[in-house]
Structure 1
Amino acid sequence: MPTATDFKDYYAIIGVDKNATPEEIKRAYRKLARKYHPDLNPGDQQAETRFKEINEANEVLSDPEKRKKYDQFGQYWHQASQGAAPPPRDAGVGVEGFDFDQYGDFDSFINDLLGRFGGAGRTRGRTYTYRTPTGEPTGFTSPPADTEAAIALNFSEAFHGVQKRLQLDNEVINVRIPPGAKPGSRIRIQGKGHPSPFSQQRGDLYLTIEVLPHPFFKFADDNILCEIPIRPDEAVLGAQIQVPTPDGSVTMKIPPGVRSGQSLRLRGQGWRQPQGRRTDLIVKLQIVPPKDISPIEREAYETIQANTSFDPRAQLQEVRL
């Protein structure tokens, strides 16, 4: 039976206010899960313990019904979620002496509990039965609980799919991640959640995907984004260049007169989607001038500078405060 010292402040563990919205809780959980994930902290026992606490807190606060029970009953929320009523707060008697295991059902426990608090004479001959909203008597019936965990993948694993071995508590689980997993997506693994302590039936495991940063590719909604440097002459005259994609280089045509920061789209060269389809690759161009040039190049640039009529700052002449 939990005591006041068993209480865990799940809001403090996640780092949010008690009135935090589900979106705020989700953001805070993902940030902490990424920070303390065992894959990113190999051999760090404190990080592993912190990661388990974060997942435990998120499991309760991300579930509206569990969160409601937790807010209402504090450290007794789990008993309440199983159909049990928490011990009276004003009884003036400690509850650490009560052991659920000695009772065949909750009715027996609550009758004994009320007898101790109120006196044997007051409860003799009475039967206290607690019922669910549908009218059914409650007992020690605890439904299997779903479990939430986070898994970190690199870009290649997320794009191509991967088989992973996860250590959850004392169990090793083999998980197949399908191609095209995106940050924040969830994968359901049936029958790998927490078991009911009475029926031993297990809930499901929900894995939240975290994709580690890549030095070249980034996510841009459903598409992916990369930046490509081009020379000034390629920007002026146009060119055909090679652009890396997740599964190899392709040729892209740069039209004449592009600006630095302008984006071009390579259709069907982005992230994997179900049924084998692909999103787009957005290519952001960056014009990069050379730092070291040959005498011939310098002469060519000086000739252009002396003979050009183009003034990119002409429109700034009328700017005034």
Structure 2
Amino acid sequence: MAGKDYYNLLGVAKNASDKEIKQAFRKLARKYHPDVNPGDKSAEEKFKQISEAYEVLSDDKKRKKYDQFGDQWQYADQYARSGGQKAGYQTYDFSDIFGGGGQSQSYRYGGDDLGSIFGDLFGTGRSQREATPKHVKDIESAIEVTLEEAFSGATRLFTIQDSKPCQTCHGTGRVHRIPCSTCGGTGTHATEKRIEVKIPAGVKTGSRIRIAGQGREGYGSTGDLYLAVTVKPHSVFERQENDLLVNIDVPLATAVLGGEVKVPTLKGKLALKIPPETQNGRVFRLTGQGMPALGKDTRGDIKAKVNIVIPTNLSEEEKQLFSKLKKLRDS
């Protein structure tokens, strides 16, 4: 970047405050970050330039030298110390960058490392050492299942938006103190994978399914995938923990005289005997016909709630019979 004006690159005045410089960089980084402009080489180059400009202008010592010596600022103290090492600077080699050999370094600019700034910009919330690959993380996702799937268990093909460590920067996000051009400084690149997920019988809304080893990949280890389950509402059944409530229509004559009705279950219909003089709203239990208990060899019940159906479109003969019944009941 020899000959380029760092202030001009960030769009700030030469007397700009640290806060103004940081705000300008954040705005430009959001605009030119490679994640926002995939495959755009010009945006990638611009991102490199503003990152270098921010590295210098956010550091008081470097900025002072830049203001005095311009694009030759790096050589201002050259050979100031014996041995030819530039005063005030540390020599960086691949052992520093990738964590081999000596102690890893955290390169900070004006009190903030680029990792934390990019975390603020893109929601990653990371602030970490450059020489440490990004931490392996579990993947949290959501899955919606039907009541039938929760009852019997099921197998689903699930698509995961994943990320893998960048092979260029080894997951550090930087190469020679500059944001990695391959991954744009994120340390990862996006991938997509499909896996087969087994839904265990008995899951309910709020259950979490853990699939070991299907999280984000890191160097030497992989996180887990966690699926937060939501069970869809059903048109017939209302789930109450492991019990299933269902409303059953019972003809008036059957409720009065007794008889038999069919009760729906998730395995088919079952016959239920209705005793004489059954009242509206009465609940009958069909033991063991409800939902399986997750991880256990037990089941809930079907709770069949009676809804007495009053006949309509009565014939004259039926009306006369009801009228006769009324007189008998009133007497």
Does 2:85 align with 1:93? no
Q: Is the 1:240–1:254 Cα contact (8 Å) retained in structure 2?
A: yes
Q: Is the 1:164–1:177 Cα contact (8 Å) retained in structure 2?
A: yes
What do residues 248-289 of structure 1 show as CA deviations (whole Å, max 9, x unaligned)? Answer: 211112223332222111111111234543210011111121
Q: Structure 1 pair 104/139, CA: closer, same or farther in 2 (3 Å)? A: closer
The equivalent position to 2:141 in structure 1, one of 141, 149, 154, is 149
- Superposition pairs for residues 9-88 of structure 1, below 5 Å? none
Quote the Cα distance in structure 2 between the aligned partners of 1:159 and 1:298. 46
Quote the Cα distance in structure 1 between the aligned partners of 2:207 and 2:108. 46
Quote the Cα distance in structure 2 between the aligned partners of 1:301 and 1:222. 42
Long gaps (5+) in structure 1: 8-91, 95-100, 118-136, 311-321
Name the SS of the counterpart of 2:317 in structure 1: helix
What amino acid maps onto 1:220 in structure 2? Answer: Q
- Superposition pairs for residues 284-303 of structure 1, below 5 Å? 284-303=305-324
> Aligned residue for 2:234?
214
The equivalent position to 1:193 in structure 2, one of 205, 215, 236, is 215
Larger Rg: 2
> Aligned residue for 1:281?
302
Q: Which has the higher helix share?
A: 1
What do residues 168-195 of structure 1 show as CA deviations (whole Å, max 9, x unaligned)? Answer: 1110011111223222212110011122
The equivalent position to 2:97 in structure 1, one of 93, 103, 106, is 103
Q: TM-score, normalised by structure 1?
A: 0.54
Does 2:282 align with 1:262? yes
Does 2:196 align with 1:174? yes
Q: Is the 1:229–1:285 Cα contact (8 Å) retained in structure 2?
A: yes
The equivalent position to 2:154 in structure 1, one of 140, 145, 162, is 162
What amino acid maps onto 2:249 in structure 1? Answer: P
Name the SS of the counterpart of 1:163 in structure 2: strand
Q: TM-score, normalised by structure 2?
A: 0.52
Quote the Cα distance in structure 1 between the aligned partners of 2:242 and 2:26. 47
Name the SS of the counterpart of 2:235 in structure 1: coil
Query: How many residues matched?
Result: 198
Quote the Cα distance in structure 1 between the aligned partners of 2:211 and 2:157. 13
Cα distance, 1:212 vs structure 2: 1.6
Q: Is the 1:239–1:254 Cα contact (8 Å) retained in structure 2?
A: yes
What amino acid maps onto 1:183 in structure 2? Answer: T
What amino acid maps onto 1:161 in structure 2? Answer: G
What amino acid maps onto 1:167 in structure 2? Answer: T
Q: Structure 1 pair 221/4, CA: closer, same or farther in 2 (3 Å)? A: farther
Q: Is the 1:107–1:138 Cα contact (8 Å) retained in structure 2?
A: no
Quote the Cα distance in structure 2 between the aligned partners of 1:210 and 1:113. 44
Name the SS of the counterpart of 1:308 in structure 2: helix
RMSD: 3.4
Q: Is the 1:192–1:204 Cα contact (8 Å) retained in structure 2?
A: yes
Q: Is the 1:107–1:139 Cα contact (8 Å) retained in structure 2?
A: no
> Aligned residue for 2:185?
none
Q: Structure 1 pair 240/4, CA: closer, same or farther in 2 (3 Å)? A: farther
Q: Structure 1 pair 190/293, CA: closer, same or farther in 2 (3 Å)? A: same
Q: Which has the higher strand share?
A: 2
The equivalent position to 2:205 in structure 1, one of 172, 177, 183, is 183
Long gaps (5+) in structure 2: 1-24, 31-56, 60-93, 112-128, 162-191
Quote the Cα distance in structure 1 between the aligned partners of 2:220 and 2:312. 69
Q: Structure 1 pair 108/143, CA: closer, same or farther in 2 (3 Å)? A: closer
Does 2:273 align with 1:253? yes
Cα distance, 1:291 vs structure 2: 1.7
Identity of aligned residues (%): 31
Q: Is the 1:144–1:200 Cα contact (8 Å) retained in structure 2?
A: no
> Aligned residue for 1:113?
108
